[in-house]
Amino acid sequence: MAESDGGAPPILAQKHYSQPSAFTPENLLREARRQKQIAHSRIPDICILDPDGDIVRSLLARGEAQLESGWACYHTQLYSFRHDGIDFGIVGCAVGAPYAVLIAEEMFASGCKLLISVTSSGQILPLHRAPYFILIDRALRDEGTSYHYTAASDYSHADTGLISALDRAFVQFPVPVLTGATWTTDAPFRETEQAIDAMREKKLLAVEMEAAALYAFAQTRHKPVLCFAHVTNQMGRVDGDFEKGEADGSHDALRLIAIAANRLRPRLGL
């Protein structure tokens, strides 16, 4: 028999949102630098989360990215590169809400001033033929990490100022860029037909695994975070699915990121 104290489930209990965390990214990085003998240094102002790792692999294959020696994370490697006149830092393969937010916390503690995430996602509403992009303005909170940052609600929301700053930014972009809501899940292999139908009724455009948590983190920490979904598949329900485009979609994703970064730099004083 399942145990219960008759109160809220653990994911909603004992959160104390107004209180600071006893365990901080700054302290973790301090110890990592000590153990790894890494000098304290700043990472690029603008950083990228690349959950699929396609951008990182493409940059490395072309010899355009260098390992950032001052990155003290225990779990990942951060690469730096220059694109369209902008210096970027990037971490690949940080899949899922807990991992993405862990890296986001450490990026901002290491000097990041703007974080852009571009994650592969599954189509829910068939508005275009894949691949295309969605600028996520809100994400349904069907994961766990966001509930450690903000009180229970249906959605996490992007900063409206960041979204409005990108108005018409992608008019000349060769791949469609929509703006809308997504479904963030922790369990991609539990996307039942009934659940997908329910999300379609909510007019959610796609399903992904990070945005709701990243936006909750951004709201609580007052950090600028922007999430894009790269709609590349129909969750494997058709033959020939998961086609991302040239270089696994990395070229288009980089162009998208550069356009967004150039638009947002003046707003953020970068």
Q: How far apart are CA 259 and CA 205, in angstroms?
A: 22
Q: How many CA atoms lie within 13 A of 236 on its CB side?
A: 4
Q: Which residues contact 200 (CB under 8 A, 6 or more apart)?
A: 124, 125
Q: Are 92 and 53 in contact (CB under 8 A)?
A: yes
The domain defined by 26-265 carries CATH number 3.40.50.2300: no
Nearest to 126 by CA among 206, 184, 191, 230: 206
- Backbone phi and psi for residue 204, each to the nearest 5 degrees, phi listed first: -75, 140
Question: What is the domain partition of the chain in residue ranges?
Answer: 26-265
Contacts of 152-155 spanning 24+ positions with Cβ under 8 A = 152/12, 155/181, 155/212
Q: How far apart are CA 131 and CA 123, in angstroms?
A: 10
Q: Tokens for 99? A: 């991992």
- Give the three-state DSSP class for 13: coil
Q: Tokens for 159? A: 């900063």
Read off the DSSP letter of residue 109.
Answer: H
Q: According to DSSP H, which parts of 53-131 are helical?
A: 54-61, 97-109
What does each of the 270 residues of the chain score in pLDDT, given as a tens digit?
A: 345 556 889 999 999 999 999 999 999 999 999 999 998 888 999 999 999 999 999 999 999 999 999 999 999 999 999 999 999 999 999 999 999 999 999 999 999 999 999 999 999 999 988 899 999 999 999 999 999 999 999 999 999 999 999 999 999 999 999 999 999 999 999 999 999 999 999 999 999 999 999 999 999 999 999 999 999 876 545 555 556 655 567 899 999 999 999 999 999 999
Q: Tokens for 88? A: 């970027």
Q: According to DSSP H, which parts of 93-233 are helical?
A: 97-109, 160-165, 193-201, 211-221
The predicted pLDDT at position 1 comes to 39
pTM (two decimals): 0.94
The predicted pLDDT at position 246 comes to 57
